[in-house]
Amino acid sequence: MIRFLIVGISLLALPSCGADGTPMRPTASGTVTVTPSGVHTGGSVGVSKGPVSIGISL
């Protein structure tokens, strides 16, 4: 799981640094859900350029 997370973040970091042109702004979001069964957290990170979007949900 850790390896998948590291590979995913590195793949998102390469286009956001502008390696092949102008830099793209990465997006990030986080959620916290409180239910009677407990507290659940989640989040996502991604980048988009035109019609193409890449993201990872955590």
Please tell me the number of Cα atoms within 13 Å of 24 on its side-chain side: 20
pTM: predicted TM-score of the whole model, two decimal places? 0.50
What are the residue ranges spanned by the domains of the chain?
A: 2-50
Query: Mean pLDDT of all residues in the chain?
Result: 78
Rounded CA gap, 27 and 24, in Å? 9
Q: How does residue 39 score in pLDDT terms, banded at 50, 70 and 90?
A: very high
Share of the chain above pLDDT 90, in %: 16
- Look at 37 and 15; give whichever has higher pLDDT: 37
- Look at 52 and 16; give whichever has higher pLDDT: 52
pLDDT tops 70 at residue 17: no
Closest CA to 29 of 44, 13, 46: 44
